[in-house]
Structure 1
Amino acid sequence: MIHYPASPSGARLKAAVCQFEIAVGDVDKNVSTGLAAAENACKSGAQLVVLPELWSCGYDGEKIAAHARKTPEITGFLSGLAKAYDAVIAGSLPEEANGRVYNTMFVINTTGPVAGAYRKIHLFPLLNEDKWFAPGRQSVILNCHGIPAGCMICYDLRFAEMGVHLAAGGARMIVVCAQWPAVRIDHWDALLMARAIENQIFVVAANRCGADADSGFNGHSRIIAPDGAILADAGQIPAHVCAELDFSIIDNLRTRFCPVAQRVPAAYPPA
């Protein structure tokens, strides 16, 4: 049996997901678009704002390291927004560190600086992502207005055991940023709901929309409740949507029945 702590008394959070078109390689345009989207969400009262994966540049192959060198300036812009609106802002950007480049979700907290970062563990083989990025080696749970939030980036969503690990570590929601293509959008919809239901946890997920030279993207950014209910859906065009997360719902669900605490990992160890 696993013990899961209750949420802080009366804990609520207004979350927003933003989706927009990403112009591959055009950092100035994307940053302008992304900052405007984040600010509009903040003006809607969002305390947590989630942006898509690699929102500053897209998957720009050989130029990704050059784009990564602009990331500190971009996180500085986000810090200004977070501080101005008392919001937490999360999204994936290329990060250069120790001579390597990572696909990293930066989480900017309400006092302005980077509160933490998660480097994408599972690199997507169909995009040859491992050619341009080094893999992260550790899952991450960060503080979001006092609520523990686990982090996932796109392909990570297919790994159920990662969601289990985050929930077991105390996460009350999973924040996801992605560039999930339209051709497999039914998988996106199903996996978001599955991660929420199986872990009795909120899922706050931002995907991009639009198209690049290789793929089309049709959004479906969503906020999912611990019982699988869709609290907000951004549809297929540039937009942001918000929902209020009432974390007492998790505790009420787990009081009635609690599969997340009744797992028997010794009976089905990793292969």
Structure 2
Amino acid sequence: MAKDLKIALVQTSLAWEDPERNRNRFSKKLKEISEDVDLVILPEMFTTGFTMNPRNIHISEGQKTLDWMKAECAKKEIALVGSLPFYENDRYTNRLFFVHPDGTFDYYDKRHTFTLAGENEVYGSGAVKLIVDYKGFKICPMICYDLRFPVWSRNTEDYDVLIYVANWPKPRVNAWDALLKARAIENMAYCIGVNRIGTDGLNHEYSGNSATYDTLGDLMVHSQDDETLSVVLSKEHIVSNRGKLKFLEDRDKFTLLG
């Protein structure tokens, strides 16, 4: 069982609805990561920005990006996680891929589509929570608006790490900061949020604020401007705190109905 998990958080501006340009951008970002890492986290819709017009992009781009992720994972011997518009079975989803170093992958379709932007009218909603086993850590990846719904992220699986990839706009970034911390505390898990920076094609501004909180809600790393952040997660930190503070044993039992 791994004692530590080394993670890089990559927040950057995104070229609007231009997958090839964004893939090239992230290839350069990955190449610039000089230290050894186990996992690199990219933002939500990292190849397009938060577009509600996925039909502006050829349907083959989703598979091209998945193939790119596999190639980068093999090259760097890392895992990669991020979401993108993906077309399958006659519908689009905001799909997160967790790609392992050997090219195998898990995926999660965003449960809570962002109705304020009409995402629910364009993208299908997922219904299955994902838990990934990676290097001795149980990881639960989610997407942006999911952060506002604590029941969906409730730690009933004893996961170790909760990840949110996002395009979370600057005017509501205080909520982003507060909710990331809350999710860490209530689930006694590391909570990582990776946002983007810059301005998108609709003139929405993003201020980054990517961050990592530990199981007690203490801030480990945070930045508005740095495009790459690194953090080391400790398995012993999780085991020790859950052993002393058995809050998860008192959690409510429930069943989601829909």
Fold in common (TM above 0.5): yes
1:7-51 CA distance string (max 9 Å, x none): x4x52100111000012112222111122223333x321211000
Partner AA of 1:107 in structure 2: F
The one of 11, 24, 28 aligned to 1:36: 28
Which of 135, 153, 158 aligns to 1:145? It is 135
Partner SS for 2:129: coil
Deviation at 1:171, TM superposition (A): 1.4
Deviation at 1:67, TM superposition (A): 4.5
Which residue of 1 is the match for residue 197 of structure 2? 209
Query: Deviation per CA, 1:142-184, whole angstroms, max 9, x where unpaired?
Result: 12223211011000011111221xx221311012100000000
- Given that 1:50 and 1:204 are in contact with CA atoms closer than 8 Å, whether structure 2 keeps it comes out as no
Residue 265 of structure 1: SS of its match in structure 2?
A: coil
4+ aligned runs moved over 6 Å, structure 1:
none
Secondary structure, counterpart of 2:158 in structure 1: coil
Matches within 5 A, 1:1-271: 8=1, 11-41=3-33, 43-64=34-55, 66-113=57-104, 115-164=105-154, 167-212=155-200, 213-233=202-222, 235-237=223-225, 239-265=227-253
* Partner secondary structure for residue 168 of structure 1: coil
Q: In structure 2, do the counterparts of structure 1 residues 64 and 198 end up closer, same or farther at CA, with 3 Å as the change threshold? A: farther
Per the TM alignment, residue 265 of structure 1 is displaced from its structure 2 partner at its CA by 3.1
Range with bigger deviation, 252-261 or 15-24: 252-261
Q: CA deviation at 1:238?
A: 5.2
Whole-Å separation in 2 of the counterparts to 1:168 and 1:182: 31
Q: CA deviation at 1:103?
A: 0.2
- What SS does the corresponding residue of 2:206 show, helix, strand or coil? strand
- RMSD between aligned residues: 2.0
By relative contact order (CA 8 Å, sep 6+), the higher-ranking structure is 1
CA drift of 1:204 comes to 2.1
Do the aligned partners of 2:44 and 2:50 also contact (CA within 8 Å) in 1? no
The CA distance in 2 between the partners of 1:216 and 1:207, in whole Å, is 12
Q: 1:72, 1:208 → 2: CA distance?
A: 22
Q: CA deviation at 1:248?
A: 1.2
Q: Once the two structures are aligned, what percentage of the paired residues are identical?
A: 26
Instruction: Identify unmatched segments of 5+ residues in structure 1.
Output: 1-7
Q: For residues 31 and 269 of structure 1, do their structure 2 counterparts lie closer, same or farther at Cα, with a shift above 3 Å needed?
A: closer
| Secondary structure, aligned partner of 2:45 | coil
SS in 2 for 1:61: coil
Structure 2 unaligned residues grouped into runs of 5+? none
- Cα distance in 1 for residues equivalent to 2:247 and 2:139: 20
Structure 1 residue 68, shift from structure 2 partner:
4.3
Residue correspondences, number: 257
The equivalent residue for 1:5 is none
